[in-house]
Amino acid sequence: MTVAGINKICVVGAGNMGHQIALSAALAGYKVVCTDISPEILAKAEQFADTYLPERVAKGKLSEEAAKAARANISFTSDLKEAAGDADLVIEAILEKLELKRKVFAQLDEICPPHTILATNSSFIVSSKIVDVTNRPGKVCNMHFFNPALVMKLVEVVKGPHTSEETAGTVMEVCKSMGKIPVLLQKEIYGFLVNRILAAINQEALYLYDMGIASYEDIDNAVVYALGHPMGPFRLMDLTGIDLSYYIGMERYQETGDPTHKPSPIVVEKFVKKEWGRKTGKGFYDYSKK
């Protein structure tokens, strides 16, 4: 059941996270418009919807009716005004660059009606760094999904000092209506819950690799076969994007000045070579021959 008052959701950014967040919302019964400035990324997102839904039906995981309804619920446009103009909730999932996010939130604040909730899916940028470009502080918060967003159940809902109880409550309910398990953070903290824990694991894994102690395949095997994680840290960085690991490291270093927060040498090397993981066909592992 969808949440009262939230009929249309706009997802800004159709990349790694956005296209799956949008489809999750469409599957939950919301009218969704997915938008991106890149026509190529948008086309890829639409193509994903067109293959993913029939695949779920063929697998017996989704009824034909539900797939049809979800496909009818979702549309794609590169026109932000058209996408967000009558949305009740906007989920921003663009690049992890603060200035870009501030620009988009300022645009959204102009485009959207006053009741619209503006949420950011940022992995680490708290909404209080963005909120001042809007005139609706109570309606701004973090809503952080995990990759792959169609599969991972957790969503972190983070309340800034400006976020109203009502907004946090509505966003929590929307997450539940999408079949997610939301957790509410009452205070902002860099990296929220999951990325703080993940950063600790990644930092150690990268240290072990950079010190020449073990290969990344063996470090991944250690984490999967001894700790029972579904994926080792290197495979996971390939999934979430090594570019993202780089941005997270740089942002954190700039904030803390602590050199241990800088991206590790191998992350810098992969970033410069544009070997960002699955999205570029190569990261720590090679995906070109799939």
Instruction: Output the smallest distance, CB 28 to ligand 3HC, in A.
Output: 15
123 is catalytic: yes
Tokens of 44: 């890829």
Instruction: Output the smallest distance, CB 287 to ligand 3HC, in A.
Output: 11
Residues in the chain: 290
229 is catalytic: no
Catalytic residue (choose from 24, 195, 202, 245)? 195
Tell me if 279 is assigned to a ligand binding site: yes
Instruction: Output the smallest distance, CB 182 to ligand 3HC, in A.
Output: 15
195 is catalytic: yes
Helix 233-240 / helix 194-210 crossing angle, nearest 10 deg: 120
Q: By C-beta, is 200 or 231 nearer to ligand 3HC?
A: 231
Catalytic residue (choose from 92, 121, 128, 144)? 144
Q: By C-beta, is 95 or 150 nearer to ligand 3HC?
A: 150
β partners of residue 8: 31
Tell me if 13 is assigned to a ligand binding site: yes
Tell me if 249 is assigned to a ligand binding site: no
Q: By C-beta, is 147 or 164 nearer to ligand 3HC?
A: 147
Catalytic residue (choose from 19, 122, 127, 156)? 156
144 is catalytic: yes
Tell me if 121 is assigned to a ligand binding site: no
Chain residues binding ligand 3HC by CB under 6 A are: 59, 61, 123, 146-148, 150-152, 195, 198, 230-231, 236, 240, 244
Q: By C-beta, is 96 or 109 nearer to ligand 3HC?
A: 96
Instruction: Output the smallest distance, CB 60 to ligand 3HC, in A.
Output: 9
Q: By C-beta, is 104 or 236 nearer to ligand 3HC?
A: 236
Tell me if 18 is assigned to a ligand binding site: yes
Residues comprising the binding site for NAD(+)?
13-18, 36, 96, 101, 123, 147, 279
Instruction: List active site positions.
Output: 123, 144, 156, 195
Residues comprising the binding site?
13-18, 36, 96, 101, 123, 147, 279
